[in-house]
Amino acid sequence: QNLLKVPEYTDYGASNGSDSKKLRVEEAPPSRVIHIRKLPNEASETEVIALGLPFGKVTNILTLKGKNQAFLEMGTEEAAITMVNYYTTVTPHIRNAPVFIQYSNHKELKTDATNQRTQAVLQAVSAVQSPSSDVQDVLAAVSSPVLRIIIDNMFYPVTLDVLQQIFSKFGTVMKIITFTKNNQFQALLQFSDPTNAHQAKLALDGQNIYNSCCTLRIDFSKLVNLNVKYNNDKSRDYTRPELPAGDGQPALDPTVAAFSKDSNSLLGKIPGALNPLSAAAAAAAAAGRVALAGQAGSSGVLLVSNLNEEMVTPQSLFTLFGVYGDVQRVKILYNKKDSALIQMSDSNQAQLAMSHLNGQKMYGKIIRVTLSKHQTVALPRDGLDDQGLTKDYANSPLHRFKKPGSKNFQNIFPPSATLHLSNIPFPSTDDLRLLFSNAGGTVKAFKFFQDRKMALIQMSTVEEAIQALIDLHNYNMGANQHLRVSFSKSTI
């Protein structure tokens, strides 16, 4: 570890245990350096530092692995005195084994200040400290190699492969499990070492994966080991490539495995914001098995099937898919009216719409959304009447994402029974309830925001909310005020 040798450090009272500990405390005057004895063989620096954290800043550490001892330097003598006084009455434990604490004869630790690993551990562990930290809570947090990750404002799809690329910059990622909870994409990610988890949390918490969206919220998990049963799009154990894919889950595509191995350059260097353009392409490639943007095979066109052909119109598809991107063209197929092609602005928007709308109910039927092999949606030739089945929306004023950095980028959520309403010209609860009931649903709850220009309205099912959004987004409320409707992550 490139530390100065300290031959004079000896194990005082190793044979006599706590008796000699008491004697030793009386002998040595208070010092900000604490001598810790009887450490378990497998104890980590992180766990030793955690003993001092509740009492103040820890400024240095020296572990003597062969002797099961360590020296901890506190920021102030007062902190050290508080710590020794506390542990005189409450025996500290590491890994369920009692350890012994006393003042050291040394007034400071003279170790090599350039020891980067020690400094990284100190910095990482200090980051989880709060003034009210209980010793056991701090110890639990700092000794976990597992992070809990929540992604806010998920405008572009974030996949298991994208997380692996980002987090592997900080150490070996062993396992990842992804899931959706409270309408939010979340993941549990296990490093091989707790120190890597701390460094990743320090660098990445609060960062955006892409410009203005996909914000990482990172905490330590109480779990210390993840149990992964399947290797597929939702979970991965990188230490066990032989695991099955599981029922109904696609097995790992070899192109994606190769892609994730050879993609260090795709996500920008940490720290600092991640490179949004290449990252978005990476997300689309990892999630959709499409080639990187600009290469053959990437497409912003979706094929939607199992539509209710009696009810569906290009306008209804434009409105629903427009929640997840700017729809350019819609074509309901002439010979197969339960299917349609929808051209989005780019492949990332297509991917986002597919991930949120595939399997949802529209006009009573579960729709299927896949990426199309078409690069564009063709308009009918001049003079040819296709019965209004093809519409061009390239110049529509209703696109939600035209303005770069628009707030709409931060408010994209999966379909939910609760809708967010804005641009309300008159604050009348009854009128709005009636309007949404007439769309063919049951209004379960309604709540105005403080300014009464916005509100939440909860329908009885997600299908009813989808229907209400299709019917009432851009509804003219009079005085040229058009209602804006989107899905909400909140409930009332």
Query: Longest C-alpha distance within the chain, in Å?
Result: 102
User: Cβ of 75: how many Cβ atoms within 10 Å?
Assistant: 15
CATH class of 146-237: alpha beta
Residue 352 has a pLDDT of: 85
Q: Hey, what are 127's tokens?
A: 């980051």
Report the candidate in 92, 33, 86 with the shortest Cα–Cα distance to residue 55. 86
- pLDDT, tens digit (0-9, with 9 covering 90-100), for 319-350: 999 999 999 999 999 899 999 999 999 888 88
* pLDDT for the residue numbered 12: 41
SS3 26: helix
pLDDT at 22 over 50: no
CATH architecture of residue range(s) 301-392: 2-Layer Sandwich (3.30)
Distances (CA, A) of 32 to 93, 172, 362, 490: 21, 35, 68, 50
Distance CA 227, CA 230 (A): 10
Please give the class, per CATH, of domain 413-487: alpha beta
Name the superfamily (CATH) of residues 33-123.
RRM (RNA recognition motif) domain (3.30.70.330)
Q: Tokens at residue 208, please?
A: 């955006």
Distance CA 446, CA 457 (A): 4
- Name residue 470's amino acid: I
Determine phi and psi for 391, rounding to 5 degrees: -130, 140
> What's the rounded mean pLDDT across residues 239-254?
68
| Category of 9 on φ-ψ map: left (φ > 0), alpha (ψ -120 to 50) or beta | beta
Please tell me the distance from the alpha carbon of residue 12 to that of residue 4, in angstroms, as a whole number: 20
- Label residue 368 by pLDDT band (50, 70, 90): very high
66 band by pLDDT with thresholds 50, 70 and 90: confident
Average pLDDT, the chain: 79
Residues linked to residue 6 through DSSP beta bridges, in sequence order: none
Q: What is the pLDDT of residue 249?
A: 53
Rounded CA-CA distance 465/448 in Å is: 17
Matching fold, domains 33-123 and 146-237? yes
Q: What's the rounded Cα separation, in Å, for the pair 68 and 450? A: 61
Split at pLDDT 50, 70, 90, the class of 427 is: low
Q: Dump pLDDT digits (tens) for 195-228.
A: 788 888 888 888 888 777 788 999 988 888 899 9
Asked whether residue 113 carries a pLDDT value surpassing 70, the answer given is no
Indicate the DSSP class of residue 417.
Answer: S
Q: How far is CA 321 from the centre of its chain?
A: 24
Q: pLDDT-based confidence at 279, cuts 50/70/90?
A: very low
Instruction: Quote the CA–CA distance of 166 and 349 in Å, as a whole number.
Output: 21
Q: How do residues 468-477 score in pLDDT, each as one tens digit?
A: 999 999 999 8
Per-residue pLDDT tens digits for 147-201: 999 998 887 778 888 899 889 888 889 999 999 887 789 999 999 888 788 888 8
Mean pLDDT along residues 282-286: 41
* CA angle at 373 for the pair 370 and 377, rounded to the nearest 5°: 95
Residue 125 is predicted with a pLDDT of 61
**Residue 275 pLDDT more than 50?**
no
Q: For the chain, give every domain's residue range.
A: 33-123, 146-237, 301-392, 413-487
